[in-house]
Amino acid sequence: MSIYLKVLGDDFFRLHPMLQKRYAFEKPVFQAAGTMNRISGGPKWLFPLFLLGTRRKFVFPESGTDISFTIVNSCFTNSAGDEQIHWERKFSFPKKMRYFNALMSLDEQRMVVKDYLGEPTIFYSDLGFTVVDGHALKIESLNQRLILGKIEIPLPKFLQGLATVVESYDELHGVFRIHVDVKNPLLGKILSYEGEFTADA
């Protein structure tokens, strides 16, 4: 059973049928391609930090419009028998390829999704999942930690990058729509993008 079905419980079946199909992971891999209509980053003085993030396939400094996008979600079972979902999000800027990668699994005791961001991992966040607007999926950041090798340091709220993701399905145009905002309580916007994508056959 998919980690997303487990964390949402009966609410999973309130999602649009195409979102249910996407997140049930009856097939081990979901692939899609599309366009991000808008991508924007944070303050310019954070550029060195964002540039460092690119080395870990995490955050990036570029902004733009009409940016080609691909996503590959791969579902597998690790050596401990836990289901994990690898997320590869790829943004094709005119002169650079940027990534926003993650590895997710389920904490069944707390019923939150564990999200390890970057490769190698540099950042961790608990994720909460809810169904909104009748059929869309909303994902929100909860507690976060900085990962330094084997050391995990809890972050106070003022140092956190709090993400809100809303994914829906547009029946009229036959596409998935995505809207992502990552904000810091002190700095404001860190990363934002929105667009659409279509699943491979």
CATH number at residue 141: 2.40.128
Return the SS3 of 13.
helix
pLDDT over 80 (residue 4) = yes
pLDDT given for residue 10 in this prediction: 97
The helix (H) or strand (E) run that includes residue 23 is helix 17-24
Q: Which domain holds residue 133?
A: 3-199
Contact 34, 47 (CB under 8 A): no
pLDDT digits (tens, 9 = 90+) for 38-91: 999 888 888 888 888 899 999 999 999 999 999 999 999 998 889 999 999 999
From the CB of residue 67, how many other CB atoms can be counted at a distance below 10 Å? 20
Residue 160 to residue 200: CA distance in whole angstroms? 34
Whole-structure pTM value: 0.94
pLDDT given for residue 79 in this prediction: 86
Number of separate domains in the chain: 1
